[in-house]
Amino acid sequence: MREPRALEAPVRMSGEVVKGFGRGSKVLGIPTANLPHDALKQLPRSFETGIYFGWATVDGVGPYKMVTSVGWNPQFANTSMTVEPHLLHSFPDDFYGSSIKIVIVGHLRAEAKFESLESLIDEIHLDISSAGELLDCEPYSFLRSA
């Protein structure tokens, strides 16, 4: 059962959009705007891995609703931690090299390994739907301009 929770304080991160492993668009059909590895230093020390939601701007434009994975992606056995936001907005082109700022306002679920790639994709779509709905409501909607 999904029990989203608000964070005690929003977590802000920023960086240049970099290429990831190429799985978001190509394997999952869910493109991500990956933050560089050094952006992990912006996380509080006690920040837990998981699936989060919040707001994002790209080159100062937005805010756009977003859901992000912060962690190790156990489905793919990553050897390094990543921050992989998916923006709930259609962009006509890739925007690698653009400046992205995210504000993480809530937690959706823990990271998990799924029985199949299809199960993972279904769960990500549920994450996207949940984030979209939650960000329209308090206490999350007012953080749109945080």
Instruction: Report the C-alpha gap between 132 and 53 in whole angstroms.
Output: 9
Q: Domain holding 102: CATH number?
A: 2.40.30.30
Catalytically active residues, by annotation: 84
- Number of domains forming the structure of the chain: 1
Taking 50 as the pLDDT cut, the residues of the chain under it are 1
pLDDT of residue 52: 98
Instruction: Report the C-alpha gap between 85 and 88 in whole angstroms.
Output: 10
Instruction: Report the C-alpha gap between 6 and 18 in whole angstroms.
Output: 28
pLDDT of residue 41: 96
How high is the mean pLDDT of the chain? 89
pLDDT of residue 146: 58
Instruction: Report the C-alpha gap between 52 and 90 in whole angstroms.
Output: 20
Residue numbers of the domain that contains 137: 5-145
